[in-house]
């Protein structure tokens, strides 16, 4: 069975306008509404993973996610490791990911206490379409402004906000921070704060055939580029989890079912995955 998925709109103060266009949503008419920051594309309580699109007009908070063990004890949840595929970015836009080599737990703790600009303690990576990053639990990070990306992650919503750019809402109130828990779970070891650890890749949309991006106990992630008329097949008989597809660009046929750009499907009880490109494009395969 091929299950068509209906996205869930998530509005954020840092959201943008791109997802309205990508997804064909009606333009917002209510001035009081926050813009669309995320659309949850693959989300089911029975799945160990989820996938979403994110679009930003402002920086996200600097944050960190706990690992499985800490999350089970403190949140009764799984942890959260995630991956990003950059779809669009204005020149100079980038992400904050990992701590600079000199930043110890005490350095970060003191900077927070003194209300310093915490982004200055993180590595900044300018990004372009086709870049990939693996963001492990324990990795401090923030998505910068003017970026549109696809995110695949463990099925967990546990986020600890470290610092929020000293932002205030319309009532003059700042969002809640989770400093103590953040300091508990941030990985300060320099070898886990490098581009190699974050598995940075480039120009994914130019790769030929399927490329594995991430192998995690809760999800495996592949990217597949197909030219118009090309096909791809994979045996699913030995895969124990449902397989999902997040279509990034170009109409495709999935087991003879049409899937539009920026849409998602999940395959349940299917022994074969068969994809044919109606148009040249790119998709993510998750299982």
3-state secondary structure of 54: strand
DSSP 61: P
Task: For residue 72, indicate whether it is catalytic.
Answer: no
Catalytic residue among 129, 161, 167, 199: 161
Are 40 and 118 contacting, i.e. CB atoms less than 8 angstroms apart?
no
Are 60 and 18 contacting, i.e. CB atoms less than 8 angstroms apart?
no
74 C-beta neighbours (distance < 10 Å), count: 14
- What phi and psi values does residue 277 have, to the nearest 5 degrees? -85, 115
CA angle 71, 77, 82 (to 5 degrees): 75
Q: Are strands 49-55 and 132-135 parallel, antiparallel or unpaired?
A: unpaired
Per 3-state DSSP, what percentage of the chain is helix, strand, and coil (rounded to 5)?
15, 40, 45
DSSP states of 243-285 as a string? EEEEEEES-EEETTEEE-TT-EEEE-S-SEEEEEESSSEEEEE
User: Among all residues, which ones are annotated catalytic?
Assistant: 161
């Amino acid at each position: 069975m091929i299950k068509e998925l209906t996205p869930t709109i998530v509005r954020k103060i840092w959201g943008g306008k791109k997802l309205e266009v990508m997804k064909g949503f009606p333009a917002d008419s209510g001035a009081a509404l926050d813009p669309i920051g995320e659309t949850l594309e693959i989300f089911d309580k029975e799945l160990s993973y989820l996938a979403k699109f994110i679009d930003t007009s402002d920086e996200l908070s600097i944050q960190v996610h706990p690992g499985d063990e800490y999350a089970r004890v403190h949140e009764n949840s799984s942890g959260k490791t995630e991956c990003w595929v950059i779809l669009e970015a204005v020149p100079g836009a980038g992400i904050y990911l990992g701590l600079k080599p000199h930043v110890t737990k005490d350095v970060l703790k003191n900077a927070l206490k003194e209300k310093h600009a915490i982004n200055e303690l993180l590595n900044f990576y300018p990004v372009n379409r086709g870049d990939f990053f693996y963001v492990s639990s324990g990795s401090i990070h923030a998505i910068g402004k003017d970026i549109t990306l696809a995110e695949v992650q463990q099925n967990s919503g546990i986020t600890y906000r470290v610092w929020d750019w000293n932002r205030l809402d319309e009532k003059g109130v700042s969002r809640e921070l989770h400093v103590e828990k953040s300091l508990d779970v941030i990985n300060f070891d320099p070898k886990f704060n490098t581009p190699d650890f974050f598995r940075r890749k480039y120009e994914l949309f130019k790769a030929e055939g399927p490329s594995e991006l991430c192998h995690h106990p809760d999800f495996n992630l592949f990217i597949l580029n197909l030219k118009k008329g090309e096909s791809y097949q994979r045996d699913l008989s030995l895969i124990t989890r449902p397989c999902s597809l997040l279509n990034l660009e170009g109409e495709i046929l999935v087991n003879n079912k049409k899937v539009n750009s920026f849409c998602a499907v999940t395959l349940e009880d299917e022994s074969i995955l068969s994809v044919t490109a109606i148009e040249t494009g790119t998709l993510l395969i998750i299982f």
